[in-house]
């Protein structure tokens, strides 16, 4: 902790004063869990998200001031809450789609987990794209439109459609091969 009351959080946990982090945790953990529980109505999930919030702070390379602890915790936890709700929506939609499959074609629990992880990765990738690229990709892949049809529908050039698809495929490639480095 410096004289200004800040905590420098970086990749090396050794540089973090454990008493300072402990102080922030002890002083704010119950408050954060209660705040999250008001939104989730599930104490266990609220506790999990509170822990994830502190993990995000610990793994951050930003400087945080102790006086801003609640604001920072609130901001990070709200982002995690949004991610949680998105994951819940994706999972519910997937499980609903599975009900239309014949029992013989129902995937195993392991296959379901793999598909859900893939769907979560695709969702994160799409969320990082500019809206036009995301729209072009979805029109192509989900609606089955050709590039000329997309260009006409969105009133953009064919080369713009190709540029957006290239951008999206590069993002897909990066996700696919990120662990193979």
Encode pLDDT of 99-140 as tens digits.
Answer: 999 999 999 999 999 999 989 988 888 888 999 999 999 999
CATH, range 129-180: 1.10.10
- If you search the block for the tokens 């599930």, which residue do you land on? 42
Cβ atoms of 145 and 136 closer than 8 Å: no
Encode pLDDT of 42-81 as tens digits.
Answer: 999 999 999 999 998 888 777 777 778 889 899 999 999 9
Domain ranges of the chain: 6-89, 129-180
Encode pLDDT of 166-176 as tens digits.
Answer: 999 998 888 77
Tell me the helices (H) and strands (E) count for the chain, helix number first. 7, 2
| pTM, rounded to two decimals | 0.70
Q: How confident is the model at residue 11 (pLDDT cuts 50, 70, 90)?
A: very low
The most distant pair of C-alpha atoms in the chain lies apart, rounded to whole Å, by 66
Instruction: Give first-to-last CA distance, the chain, whole Å.
Output: 36
Q: What is the rounded distance in angstroms from the CA atom of residue 64 to the CA atom of residue 66?
A: 6
Average pLDDT, the chain: 85
């Amino acid at each position: 902790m410096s004289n200004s009351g800040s905590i420098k959080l970086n990749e090396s946990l050794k540089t973090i004063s454990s008493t300072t982090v402990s102080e922030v945790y002890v002083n704010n953990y119950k408050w954060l869990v209660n705040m999250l529980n008001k939104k989730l109505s599930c104490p266990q999930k609220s506790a999990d998200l509170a822990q994830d919030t502190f993990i995000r702070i610990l793994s951050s390379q930003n400087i945080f001031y102790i006086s801003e602890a609640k604001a920072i915790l609130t901001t990070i936890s709200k982002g995690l809450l949004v991610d949680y709700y998105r994951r819940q929506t994706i999972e519910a939609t997937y499980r609903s789609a599975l009900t239309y499959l014949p029992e013989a074609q129902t995937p195993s629990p392991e296959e379901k987990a793999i598909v859900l992880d893939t769907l979560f990765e695709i969702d994160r990738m799409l969320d990082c794209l500019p809206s036009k690229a995301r729209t072009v990709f979805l029109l192509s892949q989900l609606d089955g439109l050709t590039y000329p049809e997309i260009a006409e529908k969105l009133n953009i050039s064919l080369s713009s459609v190709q540029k957006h698809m290239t951008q999206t495929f590069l993002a897909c490639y990066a996700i696919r091969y990120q662990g193979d480095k």
